[in-house]
A and B are shown apart, each in its own frame.
Chain A
Amino acid sequence: MKKAATVAFLLATGAILGGLALSQDKTKISIESWRNDDLKIWQTQIIPAFNKKFPNIEVVFAPSAPTEYNAALDAKLQAGSAGDLITCRPFDKSLELFAKKQLDALDGLKGMSNFSSVAKSAWQTDDGKSTFCLPMASVIHGFIYNKKIFTELKLSVPKTEAEMFSLLEKIKSNGKYAPLVMGTKDQWESATMGYQNIGPNHWGGEAGRLGLIKGTAKYNTGGFLKAFESLGKWKTYLPKGYQAIAYPDAQNLFSLGKGAIYPAGSWDISTFRAAKMDIGAFKAPAPAGSKKCYISDHTDIGIGLNAASPNKDAAKTFLEWMSSDEFASIYSNALPGFFSLNSKAKVKLTDPVAQEFVSWRGQCESTIRSGYQILSRGTPNNENDLWAASAAVLNGTKTAKQAADEVQKGLDSWYKPAK
């Protein structure tokens, strides 16, 4: 035992000394993120491109699982071990980090002017005076489908809600494939790719969302309730055992060709491209009698500076590079489905499915997800409640009305709309 300990000690000292010697010239910065799917792309495309211009800054992309990200980040921030750059969730969550002085203000950053005020609004204080994260990208919601299966079963892209349900029925009766590939175990997809995907068409996009904030709209009436009801109809079309299917399981299932349609966020495009699938996309179909259509077009991801970082200069260099045209192009094409928020950059998208998603901006009105702005500042957190409610509706453990009532009750318990 003693001998082993001595050997181990010597090895450790050697390793530390060796490590020190190697890291003499380079500054090392690390990036916190929930995008574990992007790990390979950062390592093989994005960081090497940065290093061509700045070879003395070593960058490590260190993501955590999406369900654990916020808690893990909080733990690391408390322990003082969070990375130099922190990927920011939009609106309230990141506002809180800024209020706790865990993020630095980035107003002086060169390149911040490349972003529109709409883009920045997700990462600004209410008075618009301080911006605390650099916007990166927005994501759009829709449905990705397996082209091979559609050809095989002679299906065509649905244009209305009714068409979509009859399409699902057709796939179900064929029996070979799961009509909709999604699970409820992780809960967030139920809200994000489910409720927030089809919801905007029911509640009229921004008008509905702002109504929630003003207090004129409620989750348990009108369009918001109808969206829950429509979501509930999905349950018979989900794969067998969907209650135990987590997010990566659903991705696996779809990429193995076992399901026809995948309720998606545009970020999923790169996962399925990596699996070499032949895919297409269609937007959430509007219910009968709709005059306008709406899509969930959410300012999703930004990046901020850890106030306690010991490498702020290197980190700021990286941030400035992230506001450049070069980054916007690389990012949007390496990760199709993340649409750069940089309004000055001219990005040519090469992926046809990404182009399809972006084309919907011209056809429909955009809106962000209903629970992210202002409504997630209190306890209980509206976004969290939507996760639980959507999963419950899909699991059939609550009816749409019950789930919606609970969400509204939770919101009413602390939120008083400014009169």
Chain B
Amino acid sequence: MKNIKWNVLAIHAVLLSYTALALFPTLLMLLNSLKSREAIFGSPLALPTPQTFDLSGYQTVFSSARFDLYFLNSVLVTTGSLSLILLVSSGAAWALARYEFKGSTLLGLYLSLGIMVPIRLGTISLLKLMVSLNLTNTLWALILVYTAGGIPLAVFILTQFFKQVPRELEDAAKMDGASEYQIFWLLLPLVRPALGTVAVFNMIPIWNDLWFPLILAPSEKSKTVILGAQIFLGQFINDWNAVLAALTLAIMPIMILYIIFSKQLIRGLTQGAVK
């Protein structure tokens, strides 16, 4: 009995220390964003006290940068990309899983190529493409790129799941005279876990991406939260109050998204992985 107790304590100790290590930097930023400049440098590890409490950093952030606009852009880009990925990928996965047609294996292979090849390597041409399509500095440039990048894995996962939908359901619907599209729409909810997986797999990387907003859409009206934070940080780099406030503000949406979606996120990762 005693041995088990010690083991359990040891395990808790390890997990607790690692958790502290994981949370420490974020907490540090958050706490110091509420302190005055002297307190930030003088006693960095102290909690803000009534004397040292100072919101000047937040004031600077709100008066100098349009974080509300950046947030909106991030939301639009992320939800837009996710919707498009799910829509087009489920269609293609459905076709690959349910229909036997010439070239379906080849098509499947072609679409899976993209799983391992990083889309960033095509950046130079993507930029030229967007310039010629007049889409630079629009959210569409980002949505199209993220969708294209998300399709391979989405098709792969969804195909596996569609293959498992029982034929009887499909046959029953056919006998009722449903068209192919209606059957698809009817049976789509059956792969909801997979849809969730795909959504969740893509949500965080799309939200957090710096590269494509930096290169394809760096203008003020199309900045995402992360790009806005990066640029703001570059502009105010010697104003630590503002920098810490901006960091905290940029972390908030992600944290909230995470808290809402953590169950699905984790479920999605664990299901999607073991394929």
Chain A residues close to B by CB (< 8 Å): 1, 4-5, 8-9, 11-12, 15, 30, 36-37, 39, 43, 60, 62-65, 68, 72, 75-76, 78-81, 246-249, 251-252, 256, 271
Contacts and interface: CB of A to CB of B under 8 A. Distances in A.
Question: Which 3 residue pairs are nearest across A and B when measured between Cβ atoms?
Answer: A65-B234, A248-B238, A79-B136
Nearest to B137: A81
Interface in B139-180: none
B46 interface: no
Q: How large is the interface on B (under 10, 10 to 19, 20 to 34, 35 or more residues)?
A: 20 to 34
A1 B260 CA distance: 12
Contacts of B75: 8
Contacts of B83: 5
A15 B73 CA distance: 11
A78 B127 contact: yes
A12 B140 CA distance: 14
Contacts of B214: 75
B218 A79 contact: yes
Contact of A64 (B69, B131, B235): B235
Given A64-B235, A252-B41, 6 more contacts: A5-B79, A30-B220, A39-B235, A79-B216, A81-B218, A252-B238
A271 B238 contact: yes
Contacts of A5: 79, 83
Contacts of B64: 39, 43
Nearest to A11: B72
Interface string B64-78: 100001001001100
A36 B136 contact: no
B251 interface: no
Contacts of B217: 79, 81
A205 to B, nearest CB: 32
B184 interface: no
B167 to A, nearest CB: 30
B130 interface: yes
Contacts of A15: 69, 72
B236 A81 contact: no
Given A15-B72, A30-B220, A80 B234 contact: no
A80 B141 CA distance: 13
A78 B234 contact: no
26 contacts: A1-B79, A1-B199, A5-B83, A8-B75, A8-B76, A11-B72, A15-B72, A30-B220, A36-B235, A36-B236, A37-B238, A43-B64, A60-B220, A62-B220, A64-B231, A64-B234, A75-B218, A76-B219, A78-B131, A79-B127, A79-B137, A79-B217, A79-B218, A80-B136, A80-B137, A246-B237
Contacts of B76: 8-9, 12
Contacts of A11: 72
A252 B244 CA distance: 15
B79 A75 contact: no
Interface of B: 41, 64, 69, 72, 75-76, 79, 82-83, 127, 130-131, 136-137, 199, 214-220, 231, 234-238, 240
A36 B240 contact: no
Judged by DSSP, the binding face of A is helix
B130 A63 contact: no
Contacts of A36: 234-237
B86 to A, nearest CB: 10
Nearest to A64: B234
Nearest to A248: B238
Nearest to A65: B234
Contacts of B69: 15
A65 B218 contact: no
A195 to B, nearest CB: 23
A79 B130 contact: yes
Contacts of B216: 79
A3 B75 CA distance: 13
Nearest to B233: A65
Nearest to B141: A79
A68 B137 contact: no
Contacts of B137: 79-81
A301 B162 CA distance: 62
A14 to B, nearest CB: 10
A394 B243 CA distance: 29
Nearest to B219: A81
A256 B75 CA distance: 40
A175 B137 CA distance: 53
A39 B237 CA distance: 12
Contacts of A248: 237-238
Nearest to B124: A78
B235 A79 contact: no
Given A79-B127, A79-B216, A68 B41 contact: no
Contact of B131 (A4, A65, A79): A79
Contacts of B136: 79-81
Nearest to A35: B235
Given A4-B79, A36-B234, A251-B238, A76 B218 contact: yes
A383 B35 CA distance: 40
A217 B199 CA distance: 63
B219 to A, nearest CB: 4
B72 A12 contact: yes
B230 to A, nearest CB: 9
Nearest to B240: A252
A252 B237 CA distance: 10
Contacts of B219: 76, 81
A256 B218 contact: no
Nearest to A4: B79
Contacts of B41: 252, 256
Nearest to B42: A256
Given A4-B79, A5-B83, A64-B231, A79 B215 contact: yes
Nearest to A271: B238
A8 B79 contact: yes
Contacts of A75: 214-215, 218
